[in-house]
């Protein structure tokens, strides 16, 4: 019988993550990250998402961007949140160069 060996942590599979922006019913934007964009938007609309979207929903997905992993997604989410509404509007319109967007 062969020994079962563990995969070393440095070669473990990394799950891709996504940063997304949704437009709330009142026109405001919410930025978040997830490993499954469709599921997360459905959670927001079912009242199981962030407190902000529960108060401002329903939401509509308007933009998303793939990231290599959770850490990269968290950093990108923070960057987008710090940049403000104008930056988000430019992302949604596709006006920020060099980014792989879902729109």
Q: What is the pTM of this model?
A: 0.79
- Exposure of 8 in the CB half-sphere (CA atoms within 13 A): 2
Q: For residue 25, what pLDDT band results from cuts at 50, 70 and 90?
A: very high
Mean pLDDT of the chain: 86
Q: Which has the higher per-residue pLDDT, 97 or 28? A: 28
Strands 29-34 and 17-24: antiparallel
- Residue 76 sits in a domain of what CATH number? 3.40.1440.10
- Domain presence at residue 9: no
Domain that holds residue 41: 15-93
Q: How many domains does the structure of the chain reveal?
A: 1
Which run of H or of E encompasses 90?
helix 85-93
- Domain presence at residue 7: no
């Amino acid at each position: 019988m062969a020994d079962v060996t563990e995969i070393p942590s440095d070669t473990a599979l990394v799950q891709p993550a996504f940063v997304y922006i949704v437009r709330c019913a009142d026109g405001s934007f919410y930025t978040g990250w997830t490993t499954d964009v469709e599921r997360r938007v459905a959670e927001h609309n079912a009242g199981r998402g962030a407190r902000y979207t529960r108060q401002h929903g329903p939401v509509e997905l308007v933009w998303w961007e793939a990231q290599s992993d959770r850490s990269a997604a968290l950093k990108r989410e923070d960057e987008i949140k710090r940049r403000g509404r104008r930056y988000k509007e430019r992302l949604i319109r596709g006006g920020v160069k060099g980014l792989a967007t879902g729109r």
